[in-house]
Structure 1
Amino acid sequence: MEHMHTNALILIAEDEPEIVDILKAYLHREGLRTVWATDGRTALELHLSLRPDLLLLDVQMPQLDGWQVLAELRRRGNTPVIMVTAHDQDLDKLTALRIGADDYVVKPFNPAEVAARVRAVLRRTQCQDESSTPVLRIGTLEIDLEAFRASVRQGEHLHSLPLTLTEFRLLAHMARAPRRVFSRGELIHACLSTESEVLERTIDSHISKLRKKLEDAGLPGIPLSLRGVGYRLEDIA
C-alpha cells in the first residue's frame, strides 16, 4: 500500500521560512511533494487550485489564522489536515479536533515525527477513500458500510455487535475520523432523523448503549466522552 502515498502533494501553511525548509527536507526524503503558503488566504487559494493531498496548517498566520482556514476547508470537503500549534494546551488540541483536524503537532516538534504523522494520516484517509473496500478497520474493530454490520476481531473470530441502526450510524460516522471530536449537534445532524426535534441528551443515551455493547465485546471506554465538547472514538488497539 505504500505506493499510494508516494508523490502525494503536501501544502505547508506556515509563515516561518526556517520551519518550512526543515519540513520540506524531511517530507521530500519520504518521497512527498510540497508547496508553501505564507498566509491563510494564500493557503485557501492554493487548496482550490492544486488540490493537495494533505495540509500542514499553522495556527498563527497572517491574513487568516489556522482556525479560520480549517473551518473553510471543512466546508469545502475532507482534505486531511494536521494542525501545528505553538501552545501545548488541551484547549488548542480539542479545538483542532472539534473543528475537524485529523491530527496535531506542537512546536517545537521533531520533523521526523511530523513526517511520520503525515504518512499515517495519508495512509488512513486514502485507504478509507477506496470505493472498492467499503470496510473501515480501526484496530480490532471492523465496520462494513454496505452490510451495516460492525464486528470486533478476537483472534481468528469476528464477534458481531448487535447494534441498532442509529448506533451503527454513530459508530461508522466517528470511525471515519477516530481522533476527531464530534459535537452532539453534529452527530444529531449526521446520524439521526431530522424530521423531529432531537434533544442532545438523546445522543447521550445512544452513545451509552453503544459503549456498553463495545465493552461487552472487549473494547471498554469508547467512545470517549469529553465534557462540554462531545465524543471521540479514539484509537483502538
Structure 2
Amino acid sequence: MNGLKVLVADDDPNVREIIRLYFTQQQIQMIEAKDGEEAVEKALSGTPDLVILDVMMPKMDGYEACREILKHTDLPIIMLTAKGEEFDRVLGLELGADDYVTKPFSPRELVARIKAIFRRIQRGAAAQEEGKTGDLVFEGLTISLDRREVIIGGEKVPFRPKEFDLLAHMAKTPGQVFTREQLLEQVWGYDYFGDIRTVDVHVKKVRKKLSAYPGEVIHTVWGIGYKFEVVHD
C-alpha cells in the first residue's frame, strides 16, 4: 500500500481527520475534499488511485460526484453512507461505485476494503494477460478479448471495464450457469467483502448495453443465477 494516494471527500472534518491519522499509519497518502464539487475537481485534476465519497455532501452529493468522476475516469470508488436502506446501497453500485461502507465504520475496515479492491485489480490485470485469446464470435456479436471491445452489427459498443469482464467471462462458456457467488468470486475476486447485488446491477448494465442486439444474450436462471446464450428473436 506504500505510495497509494486516496482522495477522501467528506464534509465532516472530524471524519477526515480520523481517516487521515489511520492512513498515515498505513503509509497511504490522503487527498482531502470537503464537498462534492471539490471531490470531482481533485479527482480529475489530481492523480488519486482511489476515491472515497460521502453520500451526503454540500454543493454536490456523493452520487452526483460519482457519476461525474466516472464520466471521465475508471477510478475505483467507495461510497460512505450513514443510511442503511437497500436503495441507497444499490444506487451507488448502479452508478458504478466498487463498494460501500456504512457509517459508523472503523478506519481498519475502510483500509481493508481498499486493499480488497486493489487485490481485485491486480488479479484482473493478470487474468486479462493470460486470457487474451482473440475474438469470441457469435452471429452479429463479437467480443474481442485482446482489444476489450464489444461489436454489435459492426458497431462498437462502449463497455466499462467490469461490465466487459463480466460479459467476456460468461461468453467463454456459453450455456454454463453461474451463480451470483461464483461470478463475484471469479469476476470480482471478492474475499468476503462486497454485496451480491453487485452482480445483479452489472448484469442489468450489460443487458442495457446489448439492447441493440436482436435477441437475448444474458439469461436469468431463476433460483440459481445467469448464463450466456445467444438466442435470436
TM-score (norm 1): 0.64
Q: What is the alpha-carbon distance in structure 1 between the residues aligned to residue 189 and residue 39 of structure 2?
A: 23
CA contact (8 A) 1:98 1:183 kept: no
CA contact (8 A) 1:80 1:125 kept: no
CA contact (8 A) 2:10 2:54 kept: yes
Question: Partner residue of 1:182?
Answer: 202
Identity %: 29
Residue in structure 1 matching 2:99, options 82, 96, 103: 103
Q: Alignment partner of 1:21: what SS? A: helix
Q: Which amino acid aligns with 1:182?
A: H
**1:120-199 superposed matches below 5 A:** 120-128=116-124, 130=125, 133-134=127-128, 144-146=131-133, 163-164=173-174, 175=187, 179=194, 180=198, 181-182=201-202, 184=204, 186-190=205-209, 192=210, 194=212, 196-198=213-215
State the Cα RMSD in Å.
3.5
Where do 5+ consecutive residues of structure 1 fail to align? Answer: 137-143, 150-160, 212-219, 225-237
Q: How many residues align?
A: 180
The offset of 1:177, in angstroms, is 8.3
Q: What is the alpha-carbon distance in structure 2 between the residues aligned to residue 13 and residue 67 of structure 1?
A: 12
Where do 5+ consecutive residues of structure 2 fail to align? Answer: 137-170, 228-233
The offset of 1:134, in angstroms, is 1.6
**1:210-225 superposed matches below 5 A:** 221-223=224-226
Question: Partner residue of 2:22?
Answer: 26
Q: Does 1:39 align with 2:35?
A: yes
In the TM superposition, structure 1's runs of 4+ consecutive aligned residues that sit over 6 Å from their partners are 165-168
Q: Alignment partner of 1:83: what SS? A: strand
Question: Partner residue of 2:13?
Answer: 17
TM-score (norm 2): 0.65
Q: What is the alpha-carbon distance in structure 1 between the residues aligned to residue 176 and residue 59 of structure 2?
A: 42
| Structure that is richer in strand per residue | 2
